[in-house]
């Protein structure tokens, strides 16, 4: 059944302009909050859904610009025979070129026969659905999809409230499963009549006096009501619809009483069963109400691991679990660049699957700092905690994520994330030269590199730049973490037995740390990993570096200020 090949959006809510070519299976939209993911789902639903009318407001126009019409267009491929009917749709059939992503005016060799359905909303707020093609436009022909075809291909949508799909309401998955033929109108009418006959007005004694008043008033006015007006159920006013019939468990409890996660899993499974009748499924926040293992089950039910996709799924997610479980070709990164929105398939950036699975959380951020190692991540976290207590904006509030570059892989990981459209920076040591070509490529594409000066690693920079008290506290932290005897051995090794830990402590107490001693401590800390873990450096950043920041040398603060300012710029 019909699949969405091209989606075009203009002037609709968060999106000024977008053209996207989704895939045939799962299309999971990821990206930072307010990037337009839900707007894209709404656009598909409004254009393709089986609705005879819709209510729009000025707020549905991008930045309230109702002088420019809302336009949503879906080009549908994989058409079944009714949608390729020449008599009904011949003038509106176009060709979709999968190789170029272009929609050609006519079907032809090497092209997929397609239809383009368009929704336009002008400033009068009246929606208008039409099929469009150059040939029909030349002939001044207009028409919409037949209602039967529209109902047949309308997408099912699973949102926060999913109970309607557990009833035979119009548009529900159950209605799709029964081809819309679950007509229980006769039985419902009979039930209404039985309810009327079973109603006992005698039990409602509070109605006696009003009924007497009505009877007397009718007699006074000569209205023929008999000798006594009755209060009975009007069978015609008992409104039963398909939604009145719903699923119940063996105890008779409605399945809409299921927990949110269970009901969403059940509905996804039902949609899979109905896949031959309705192939388009929309899911808002697919992880909503689900534990990690149930997210995985949901994705499995939707065919995430199958070679031939059973459904075309459009989903939004803020879950690292979903990002990790899906393949790169199923993940689509939503980004806003000036007035243009883009949706980029992650796999188009090359071999990024490993990077995505190692740093799934980064795909949900707006800015990414790739840190050379865990110690840089720890320092960033610790300083963030310190500065936020002083009222500064946090990294999280700026939409920033920290990624471990794993040493020599720093530039390759940063370039992979940059190629997905993310604003990316690098924080690295300078004790090893950067790979020349990779650094040039990264910077040329807008990346920023922040590095310590003087060929120093982070630990060397900290012991060189911090004031005496803070440097002593850093040494004490290393002793606490690593054990005094081990630190003693490391100092003897680096100094070639010229210095002991006691010597350095005495020097610090009497004269303060000399430049040579600071260098010795920095070399030992860097070589033997005194502070290498994220948690240790996070403690250092929060309790030592942060409080001493204003007294530290510019060699440290200029680099960190640069990184923090870059992050904050991305959060504006």
In a structure prediction context, what are the per-residue pLDDT tens digits for the chain, which is 572 residues long? 799 999 999 999 999 999 999 999 999 999 887 889 999 999 999 999 888 778 999 999 999 998 999 999 999 999 999 999 999 999 999 999 999 999 999 999 999 999 999 999 999 999 999 999 999 998 889 999 999 899 889 888 876 555 556 666 666 666 666 665 555 556 666 666 676 666 655 556 666 776 677 677 766 666 676 777 676 665 555 565 555 666 666 666 666 666 777 777 777 777 677 666 667 889 988 888 888 888 898 898 889 999 998 899 999 999 999 999 999 999 999 988 777 899 999 998 888 888 888 889 899 898 999 999 999 999 999 999 999 999 999 999 999 999 999 999 999 999 999 988 899 999 999 999 999 999 999 999 999 999 999 999 999 999 999 999 999 999 999 999 999 999 999 999 999 999 999 999 999 999 899 999 999 999 999 999 999 999 999 999 999 999 999 999 999 999 999 999 999 998 66
- Give domain status of residue 461, yes or no: yes
User: 480 and 558 share a domain?
Assistant: yes
Range of the domain at 191: 185-242
Q: Which residue, 154, 175, 203, sits at the end of a domain?
A: 154
User: 149 and 219 share a domain?
Assistant: no
- Give domain status of residue 456, yes or no: yes
User: 138 and 92 share a domain?
Assistant: yes
User: 541 and 443 share a domain?
Assistant: yes
- Give domain status of residue 29, yes or no: no
The CA-CA-CA angle for residues 159, 164, 166, to 5°, reads 110
Give 324: exposed, middle or buried? Use CB within 10 Å, 0-12, 13-18, 19+: middle
- Give domain status of residue 358, yes or no: no
- Residues with Cβ < 8 Å from 571, sequence gap 6 or more? 366, 367, 393, 397, 398, 399, 400
Instruction: Please report the pLDDT score of residue 326 as a whole number.
Output: 95
Instruction: Please report the pLDDT score of residue 175 as a whole number.
Output: 66
Q: Which residue, 114, 131, 154, sits at the end of a domain?
A: 154
User: 134 and 190 share a domain?
Assistant: no
**Dist CA 486 CA 235 (whole Å):** 89
User: 373 and 440 share a domain?
Assistant: yes
User: 83 and 10 share a domain?
Assistant: yes
- Give domain status of residue 305, yes or no: no
Name the token pair of 354. Answer: 């490993």
User: 406 and 486 share a domain?
Assistant: yes
**Dist CA 24 CA 22 (whole Å):** 7
Rg (CA), the chain: 33
User: 377 and 509 share a domain?
Assistant: yes
- Give domain status of residue 293, yes or no: no
How many domains does the chain fold into?
A: 3
Q: Are 333 and 364 in contact (CB under 8 A)?
A: no
Distances 364 to 15, 23, 37, 568 between C-alpha atoms, Å = 19, 21, 12, 17
Q: Which residue, 137, 154, 171, sits at the end of a domain?
A: 154
* Per-residue three-class SS string for 207-262: HHHHHHHHHHHHHHHCCCCCCCCCCCCCHHHCCCCHHHCECECCCCCEHHHCCHHH
- Give domain status of residue 454, yes or no: yes
- Give domain status of residue 312, yes or no: no
User: 391 and 539 share a domain?
Assistant: yes
User: 12 and 86 share a domain?
Assistant: yes
Instruction: Please report the pLDDT score of residue 83 as a whole number.
Output: 95
User: 393 and 453 share a domain?
Assistant: yes
């Amino acid at each position: 059944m019909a699949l969405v090949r091209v989606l075009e959006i203009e002037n609709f809510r968060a999106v000024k302009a977008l053209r996207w070519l989704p895939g045939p299976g799962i299309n999971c939209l990821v990206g930072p909050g307010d990037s337009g993911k839900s707007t894209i789902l709404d656009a598909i639903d409004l254009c393709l859904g089986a609705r005879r009318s819709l209510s729009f407001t000025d707020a549905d126009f991008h930045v309230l610009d109702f002088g420019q019409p809302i336009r949503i267009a879906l080009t549908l491929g994989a058409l079944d025979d009714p949608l390729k009917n020449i008599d009904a749709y011949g003038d509106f059939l176009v060709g979709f070129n999968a190789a170029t992503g272009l929609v050609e005016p006519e079907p032809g060799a090497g092209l997929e026969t397609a239809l383009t359905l368009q929704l336009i909303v002008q400033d009068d707020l009246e929606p208008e659905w039409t099929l469009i093609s150059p040939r029909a436009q030349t002939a001044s022909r207009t028409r919409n999809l037949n209602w039967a075809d529209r109902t047949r291909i309308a997408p099912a949508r699973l949102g926060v409230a999913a109970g309607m799909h557990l009833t035979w309401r119009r548009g529900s998955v159950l209605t799709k499963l029964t081809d819309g033929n679950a007509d229980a109108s006769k039985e419902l009418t009979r039930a209404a009549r039985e309810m009327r006959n079973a109603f006992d007005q005698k039990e409602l004694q509070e109605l006696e006096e009003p009924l007497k008043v009505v009877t007397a008033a009718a007699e006074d006015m000569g209205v023929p009501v008999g000798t006594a007006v009755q209060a009975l159920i009007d069978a015609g006013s008992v409104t039963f619809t398909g939604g009145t019939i719903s699923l119940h468990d063996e105890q008779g409890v409605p399945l809409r009483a299921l927990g949110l996660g269970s009901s969403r899993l059940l509905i996804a499974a039902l949609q899979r069963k109905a896949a031959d009748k309705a192939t388009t499924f929309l899911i808002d926040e697919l992880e909503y109400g689900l534990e990690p293992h149930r997210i995985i089950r949901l994705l499995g039910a939707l065919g995430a691991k199958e070679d031939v996709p059973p459904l075309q799924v459009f989903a939004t997610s803020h879950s690292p679990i979903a990002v990790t479980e899906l393949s790169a070709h199923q993940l689509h990164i939503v980004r806003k660049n000036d007035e243009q929105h883009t949706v980029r398939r992650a796999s188009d950036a090359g071999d990024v699957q490993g990077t995505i699975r190692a740093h799934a959380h980064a795909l949900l951020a707006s800015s990414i700092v790739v840190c050379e190692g865990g110690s840089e991540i720890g320092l960033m976290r610790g300083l963030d905690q310190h500065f936020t207590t002083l009222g500064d904006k946090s990294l999280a509030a700026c939409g920033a994520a920290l990624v471990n570059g794993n040493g020599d892989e720093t530039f390759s990981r940063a370039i992979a994330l940059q190629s997905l459209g993310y604003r990316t920076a690098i924080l690295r040591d300078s004790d090893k030269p950067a790979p020349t070509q990779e650094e040039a490529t990264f910077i040329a594409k807008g990346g920023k590199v922040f590095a310590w000066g003087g060929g120093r690693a982070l630990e060397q920079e900290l012991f060189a730049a911090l004031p005496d008290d803070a440097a002593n506290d850093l040494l004490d932290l290393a002793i606490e973490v690593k054990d005094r005897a081990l630190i003693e051995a490391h100092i003897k090794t680096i100094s070639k037995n010229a210095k002991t830990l006691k010597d350095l402590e005495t020097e610090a107490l009497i004269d303060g740390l000399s430049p040579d001693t600071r260098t010795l401590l920095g070399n030992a800390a860097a070589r033997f990993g005194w502070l290498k873990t994220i948690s240790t450096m996070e403690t250092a950043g929060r309790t030592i570096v942060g409080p001493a920041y204003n007294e530290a040398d510019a060699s440290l603060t200029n680099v960190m200020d640069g990184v923090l300012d870059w992050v904050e710029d991305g959060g504006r």
